[in-house]
Amino acid sequence: MRYLRFLLCVGALAPILSFAQNLETVSGTITQNTTWTANTTWLLEGKVYVKNGAILTIQPGTVVKGDKASKGTLIITRGAKIIADGLPTKPVVFTSNETNPAPGDWGGVVVLGYAPTNTSANGMTCLGVAEGNINNAANDARFGSGDQPGGCGRTDDNSGVLRYVRIEYGGISYQLNNETNGLTLAGVGSGTTVDYVQVSHSGDDGFEFFGGTVNCKHLVSYGNKDDDFDFDLGYQGHVQFALGVRNPDLSDVSGSNGLEVDNDNSGTPYTPKTRPTLSNFTLIGPTGVMDDNFRRAAHLRRNAEPALFNSLFIGNFPVGLCLDGVGTIANAQTNLLEIKNTYLADAPELLKSTEPTFNINQWFGTQLWENETMSNSQSLALQAPFNVADPNAQPLSSSVLNNSASFTAVRANVPFFEKISWLGAFNTTDDWTCGWAKFEELNTNCTMTVGEEAPIALHQEVALTPNVTTSTVMLSVNLLQKAECTVEVFHLNGQSVGVLLQETAGTGIFERPLSVAHLSAGMYTVSIRLGNEVFTRKLVKM
């Protein structure tokens, strides 16, 4: 059973609410503070720019769709902000407007900021222009601050909040090295919040960072076409807790990697160097019969200086870890590039170097670094990592991963990183994707614990039967202590349909019939809160 601590805010007892979804098309520019509400579906037509310091607020549970024909794209320009601050039960969802969506249906989400980058544009250093044919006559695709008073020093720039957000079917590859991604973060500063964000079915990369200093936690890259996580052009932030899951039938002609890191396209020593510090990544590569364009679980190249700690790379990428180029290998030899407490498994060639004089096996196996390679990941005792439809990368209680982490390295021993004991993105009891992330379906086969109180003592697991019905379901549980009970129903996109029940449940057997006759036919998530625990169940209304 999977668990996640989170706060579920439940209001007073209320009648069932049925939301009639309006559709509103958005195009052109947004230049004033604007709110997109959850009772409307918002359709992006063409390139939509938020600019002139405007703040776009998107309510929890809101659905935003991208138009395929016009390549709908949301672009947050420098100085503007996006506040997409969802909830665990009400994520903000960006998705395709197509009836049968596919990777690359629309342009994805692009956030541009004033934080440093090592590239240049129009003869000005610390200034870039985002890829993907999104620039215009007003240069609204610029990032960095080389053209601004004060130059290149805005490391704490704030582009807003992305929290509990899903981005699906975005990312358009116009041509090689000219693409939008599911989520593009270019010159985004450390004042920005990026936490609990999933990118799925992107036509290019899941997440790509062009320069900037933004720090991120709890990222999910699922079934994307090119790279899961790509860092370029002087990115110097921190990322902790990241999951990547590959679809073996989907890869990109450019060569698909789990992790890709470059200083710049030419491998120059330009500064700031691309220097991400990453911890607790779990990247799950393809298995079985797979596309021919998969390349490496981790490709570190072009003079980059990444640090990777407490992470796990499994699956049948042809190569596990590749150190590519003279500059990158020199960085490894001088400890500017670090990998510690990291496991590689399954790849036919686990370690590869482009420089024959560099012994990558000896380097990776340095004893004090506590890295491990293994031919098969089964010995790591993960629950179901290769179930692409419903992956579970949590370790079993017997797994060696549970007590293998270390944060003693200088780059890991900073306040941003939670100093946890486990290696990889998850421990045995905390599936932080629960309730908001979506794989083949919304991840609801899990239990979530909230608050600091002791959990409710149960004789049996909470039951909601039948889970396919036309009119009524029965809630049943046997409690050893009384608890406040609230039952709320949600659409699969995270929008609340309403509260079915709110009362105090006494000790012993507690049963209540709940009418769902008024719901439209379809699939729903039912959230059952008992004290400080939340149980989720699927419900199909016929």
Would you state the structure tokens that stand for residue 164, as one six-digit string?
């509990």
Bond before 466 cis per omega within 30 degrees: yes
pLDDT tier at 516 (50, 70, 90 boundaries)? very high
Percent above pLDDT 90 for the chain:
77
**Residue that has been written with the tokens 């179901």 in this structure:** 384
pLDDT value of residue 478: 83
Q: Where are the alpha helices (DSSP H) in 302-456?
A: 326-333, 360-364
pLDDT value of residue 2: 38
Task: Provide the b/e sequence for 37-53 (b: ≥16 CB within 10 Å).
Answer: ebebbbbbbbbbbbbee
**Residue that has been written with the tokens 């002139």 in this structure:** 52
2.60.40.1930, 2.30.30.100, 2.60.200.30, 3.30.470.20: which CATH number matches 447-541? 2.60.40.1930
pLDDT per position as a tens digit, 214-261: 999 999 999 999 999 999 999 999 999 999 999 999 999 999 999 999
Dihedral sign, Cα of residue 299, residue 301, residue 304, residue 305: positive
pLDDT tier at 463 (50, 70, 90 boundaries)? confident
Task: Provide the b/e sequence for 220-229 (b: ≥16 CB within 10 Å).
Answer: bbbbbbbbbb
CB 510 within 8 A of CB 478: yes
**Residue that has been written with the tokens 């320009």 in this structure:** 77
456: DSSP letter: P
- Distance between CA 260 and CA 282 in Å, rounded? 14
In this structure, the number of other CB atoms found within 10 A of the CB of residue 23 comes to 11
Domain ranges of the chain: 204-443, 447-541
pTM of the model: 0.83
User: Which of 273, 331, 277, 300 minimizes the C-alpha distance to 118?
Assistant: 273
Amino acid (1-letter code) at residue 450? V
Is it the case that residue 391 has pLDDT exceeding 80? yes
